[in-house]
A and B are shown apart, each in its own frame.
Chain A
Amino acid sequence: MVAIPGPLRLRAKGLGLIVAIALSLQPSALLGEARRVISIIPATTEMLFAMGAGDRVIAIGNYDTYPPEAQKLPKVGALIDPNVEQILQMRPDLVVIYGTQTELKRRLDRANIAYYSYVHKGLSDIAQTIRSLGMRVGADAGANALASRIEQQLADIRRRVASQPRPKTLLVFGREPGSLRNIDASGGDGFLHDMLDAAGGADVLGDIHRQSVTMSTEMVLARAPDVIIELRYSKDDVNNADMSAWNRLSAVPAVKNRRVILLTGEEFVVPGPRVAAATRRLAAALHPEVRW
């Protein structure tokens, strides 16, 4: 931590106060806590249910498959195709959307419906979003507890792997089925990279500051990862012939030492409250020597 000189600290405090006042002046905040919430992003839907505000959610997004109790709710579109008409018709007092949904924001503004919008750049943003979303819907206590629990679990994983060697890891989240074409892997930025870092792996593409990198076979050979972890949403996406495609690159240490690992589960692609569990699975795959 950098020590902040006294006057600056005061000014920062003052700024915080102004921001807090400005936030409290938002029309929806004046109306009190949100009672009819629509969340169309999987991560925030999971957050709302996990913080105990699930009973206020009246509709969710098309790709929101967790938790099970959310599944009885109507689905009103998603990131690129929100069903605005249906959303307006349901008369929500808060719509939780992603920062890039500018068209939706404009239409909600016009309809005078409040929204909560956020952007995730990395792992640490998740707990922060949980806290601020909790504050926004009036579920502060549940949200704070949830966020602290996630932070503690992540800190615990970091502590357990701290003394272990960090294997050079390639984290793959997509490729053309049955071949090694268009391999998409996590680069040195973003949520997957941070998870890998917390799980005690050294990202083999850490020097490339992008969230995703499309790799050629030459690049896989050149980077020579010790471990290749392939992530898939569901078990239906996998068969053995598909995984054996990696065997062509036998000079890669991960292939030679049979450390090409398949992990399935949508928690790896949803930056929500299940992130600590996902990181733990990643850590267990990277460090089987540690007792988990």
Chain B
Amino acid sequence: MTLAAFGTVTLLACLLAPLVGSTSISLARVFDRSIPFADNTDAQVFFVARLPRVLAAALVGAGFSLSGVVFQALLRNPLAAPDTLGVSAGASLGAMLVLTAHADFTLFGVSVVPLATFAGALGALAIVFVLALAKGRGTSSTVLLLAGIAISALLSAAGRFIQYLSDVTGTFRTVQWLMGSLDVGSYAPILASLVPFGLACIGFATLPRILDLISLGEDAAEARGVDVVRAERVALVSASLSTGAAVSLGGPVLFVGIIVPHIVRRLVGADHRLVLPASALFGAALLIVCDLIARTIIAPVEMPVGIITAIIGGPFFLWLLFRGR
């Protein structure tokens, strides 16, 4: 019932968002088969400019939100998110490396930028993962979070150094990338990111009950027969893949991964069988709406979507920090 409501909201967002934009198009013309697609501007606005964008927003929103849920449950910390674990810094470093090197080749129709971004995100999480493994059973969540912050600082410093050495264009492109953008302009990057995202979802599907138990404490989970170390590995790998897929598609769209799990838990409670799918759906809808605002609010030009999510996410985050004090 609850999931059906979330599903309806997301579906509505997916269906309505492509109808709105900075230009007005006629739906009759969009679906008019008598005009060849190559000459049909309205159809290209709909199918090349808007639809991939809405789908990318949905995927990025779902990806960040799912990993947010998993990180928060796993580390039993409300601040755990792709951002705070160094993933954004790793992804940014990957993007910076290719953007400042002016390496402009494509692999299977996907530009090298998302590939490097994906590698950077996974690299950063691999460090966190290795640290978690080294600690063995019952990794302290505070240690992991602090490790994430340290890795984040390290990778950001490396990124700033590269930027300092690079030329103005490289720096400018990097800054643009850091603001996040969902204007993917084709379906190839979406299809490419569906592979890691799909694998992540398979991992997530095994997690809900285990996450419920781990949220109560690792000892409690172990007492109920959960193989905590194995579960942690599955959770970290899945969350890393999903974050990597999201950040390579849309850039580091801040805060989605932190705010969505909190909102959803307030709405549906703490049961991860509900929280996981509901967060994916809500995250997708939220980012579709944020992107809709981004591309229409100062039309004909656009606002970077990362700014919109941060404007919404920032105050929410503050409220989260200070409520009940």
Contact = CB atoms under 8 A, between A and B. Distances in A.
Nearest to B48: A248
A32 interface: no
B185 A179 contact: yes
A6 B324 CA distance: 74
Interface stretch (B98-106, B223-231, B265-273): B98-106
Contacts of A80: 168
Interface stretch (A147-155, A213-221, A281-289): A213-221
A177 B164 CA distance: 21
Contact of A217 (B48, B167, B300, B301): B48
A176 B173 contact: yes
Interface string A151-187: 0000000000000000000000010111111101000
A218 B23 contact: yes
B184 A181 contact: yes
A69 interface: no
B159 to A, nearest CB: 17
Interface stretch (B59-67, B125-133, B175-183): B175-183
B41 interface: yes
Given A177-B104, A181-B184, A237-B102, A218 B45 contact: yes
Contact of B41 (A181, A221, A233, A237): A221
Contacts of B8: none
Contacts of B43: 251
A135 interface: no
Interface in B191-220: none
A184 B102 CA distance: 16
A242 B106 contact: yes
B169 interface: yes
Given A176-B113, A216-B183, A218-B21, A182 B173 contact: yes
Interface in B93-124: 98-99, 102-106, 110-113
B114 to A, nearest CB: 9
Which of B23, B45, B177 lies at the interface centre, i.e. has the most chain A CB atoms within 10 A of its CB? Answer: B45
B123 to A, nearest CB: 21
Interface of A is mostly: loop
Interface in A245-267: 245, 248-252, 256
B262 interface: no
Interface string B30-47: 000000011111011100
A236 interface: yes
A208 to B, nearest CB: 7
A221 B183 CA distance: 13
A176 B111 CA distance: 8
A178 B113 contact: yes
Chain B interface residue bracket vs A: 35 or more
A214 B39 contact: no
Given A179-B113, A218-B21, A221-B48, A256 B38 contact: yes
A179 B302 CA distance: 18
A63 B112 CA distance: 26
A241 interface: yes
A241 B105 contact: yes
Given A219-B300, A222-B45, A178 B23 contact: no
Interface of B: 21-23, 37-41, 43-45, 48-50, 98-99, 102-106, 110-113, 164, 167-169, 172-173, 176-177, 181, 183-186, 189, 295, 300-302
Give 3 nearest A-B pairs by CB, closest first.
A177-B104, A178-B111, A218-B49
Interface of A: 63, 79-81, 174, 176-182, 184, 208, 213-219, 221-222, 224, 233, 236-239, 241-242, 245, 248-252, 256
18 contacts: A177-B104, A178-B110, A178-B113, A179-B184, A182-B181, A214-B301, A216-B22, A217-B48, A218-B23, A218-B49, A221-B41, A221-B48, A221-B49, A222-B300, A233-B169, A242-B106, A251-B39, A256-B39
Given A184-B176, A222-B300, A239-B104, 7 more contacts: A176-B176, A179-B111, A181-B111, A181-B183, A219-B301, A236-B102, A245-B185
